[in-house]
Amino acid sequence: MKSLVRFGVSIEEKLLARFDDLIESKGYVNRSEAIRDLIRDRLVSEELADKNAESIGTLTLIYSHDVRELSDKLNEIQHHNHRIIVSTTHIHLDEHNCLEVLILRGKTRQIQAIADRLLSIKNVRHGKLTCTTTG
């Protein structure tokens, strides 16, 4: 059992009302859990600011496999970084569109560099990198 402490927060009534509306719509059972999530998010983005910290990345890519040798190219770059890329899940969205979700583990700057490399390739139509840590 983790030992809990309490602290007080001063806040404008209106601001609190808006916060309450938000967390209710998100399904939080109480304010403390919502506040803790906010604090964790803040700490994680702080950690990620240190580009040499160990982190975990989720990179989502959308492209069309119809473009000649694009799958080859993406696969080759990923293999070159096989020590950082833990796994790649590929969903065949339809006859043409590919969704790839890569899970990466390493220093934030390494993850960022691989994401930049893949996202800047012509015909990779859309992509997003999310970084996180175990906190």
Residue 91: which of 107, 79, 102, 82 has the closest Cα? 102
Considering only 51, 52, 111, 134, the residue that binds a copy of itself (CB under 8 A) is 134
Q: What is the SS3 assignment for 108?
A: helix
| Cα end-to-end span (Å), the chain | 18
Q: Which of residues 25-44 bind a copy of itself (CB under 8 A)?
A: 25-29, 31-44
Nearest distance from C-beta of residue 109 to a copy of itself, angstroms: 11
Q: Which of residues 67-106 bind a copy of itself (CB under 8 A)?
A: 68-72, 74-76, 78-82, 85-99, 101, 103, 105
Could you tell me which residues are beta bridge partners of residue 85?
A: 104
Question: Contact between 51 and a copy of itself (CB under 8 A)?
Answer: no
